[in-house]
Amino acid sequence: MDHPFKTYSPVTYSSEESGRRAGEFRKFMESRRSIRHFSNREVSGNIMENLIMTASSAPSGAHKQPWTFCLVGDAGIKLKIREAAEAEEFENYNGRMPAEWLKDLEPLQTDWRKEFLTIAPWLVVCFKKSYDLDGKQHKKNYYVNESVGIACGFFLAAVHHAGLVSLTHTPSPMDFLTKILGRPENERPYLLMPVGYPADEVTVPDIRRKEYGDVAVEFKP
């Protein structure tokens, strides 16, 4: 079977311009924060479509694109998601989570209450597909977790680039999302991300990110 190729036209810069752009983007992304207090200010569906399609431009194993992004703006569905998520989170904070985990969460001052799930104008639920369905036939996907994780990273970067905020929420277990959103058997919930504008005078934990030497090891020539 012939698989056609086409010429790739890369965008390239001088070394100086690449350095400038890399530094500016680093500073821009370092300003990104996870936000738990949202405004109910409207965000257009067109903006959300562009964010999701940016996420879907991510690389994936064998180009299978093993993800489904569910975009939820309906108030009734958001309420069902919040109620189910808070039920699971209440159990997590009151017995499921070990003491070490709870201790690590203390600087973030989180608890089982998740008001942002109904206040944020949109919830984006990313589902991973271990296999595709072609009628009754199962078609295997590859490196699913890695591929979906990269796509979600693209999504969060796109949200920040658009001047919006988000949060990675993983209530565990998340099977209730499959039921509420009526997803098929080959999809499993991977990540829940509210999207919108931050509330007025919102605050975030005063935490630091690791330095370069803490996250990288160089092997120079």
Look at residues 122, 108, 179 and name the one whose alpha carbon lies nearest to residue 155: 122
Report, as an integer, the average pLDDT of 188-205.
96
What is the average pLDDT across 66-80?
A: 98
Find the CATH number of the domain harbouring 146: 3.40.109.10
In a domain, 46, yes or no: yes
The structural domain count of the chain equals 1
pLDDT at residue 58 above 80? Answer: yes
Q: What token pair was written down for 217?
A: 């090891």
Judge if the upstream peptide bond of residue 173 is cis by omega within 30 degrees of 0: yes
Domain for residue 169, yes or no?
yes
Sheet holding 165-166, edge to edge: 67-72, 122-129, 187-196, 165-166
127 within 8 A of 188, measured Cβ to Cβ: yes
Domain-located, residue 41 = yes
Whether 221 is covered by a domain: the verdict is no
Residue 172 has a pLDDT of 86
For 195-221, what is the mean pLDDT? Answer: 95
pLDDT at 171: 84
For residues 42-47, give the mean pLDDT.
Answer: 98
Question: How does residue 27 score in pLDDT terms, banded at 50, 70 and 90?
Answer: very high
Residue 203 lies in a domain: no
pLDDT in tens, 119-178: 999 999 999 999 999 888 999 999 999 999 999 999 999 999 999 999 999 988 999 999
Check residue 127 and report its DSSP letter.
E
User: Do the domain assignments include residue 7?
Assistant: no
Instruction: Kindly tell me if the per-residue pLDDT of 201 is higher than 80.
Output: yes
Q: Is residue 53 part of a domain?
A: yes
Residue 164: what are its φ and ψ, rounded to 5°?
-110, 175
How many Cβ atoms are within 10 Å of 75's Cβ, its own excluded? 10
Confidence band (pLDDT; 50, 70, 90) for 104? very high
pLDDT at 114: 96
Mean pLDDT of 36-61: 98
Q: Which of 83, 47, 57, 76 is nearest to 159 (CA)?
A: 47
Show the domain range for 62: 37-197
Based on the number of CB atoms within 10 Å of its own CB, is 155 exposed (0-12), middle (13-18) or buried (19 or more)? buried
- For residue 197, is pLDDT > 90? yes
Do residues 169 and 193 touch, judged by C-beta distance below 8 A? yes
Return mean pLDDT, the chain. Answer: 96
Mean pLDDT of 183-209: 96
- The residues facing 194 across adjacent strands are 123
Q: Are 66 and 129 in contact (CB under 8 A)?
A: yes
Residue 128, classed as helix, strand or coil, is strand
pLDDT of 184 higher than 90: yes
State the DSSP code for 21. Answer: H
Does residue 31 fall inside a structural domain? no
Are 178 and 187 in contact, with CB atoms under 8 Å apart?
Answer: yes
pLDDT value for 136: 82
Task: Give the pLDDT score at 162.
Answer: 98
Q: What percent of the chain has pLDDT over 90?
A: 95
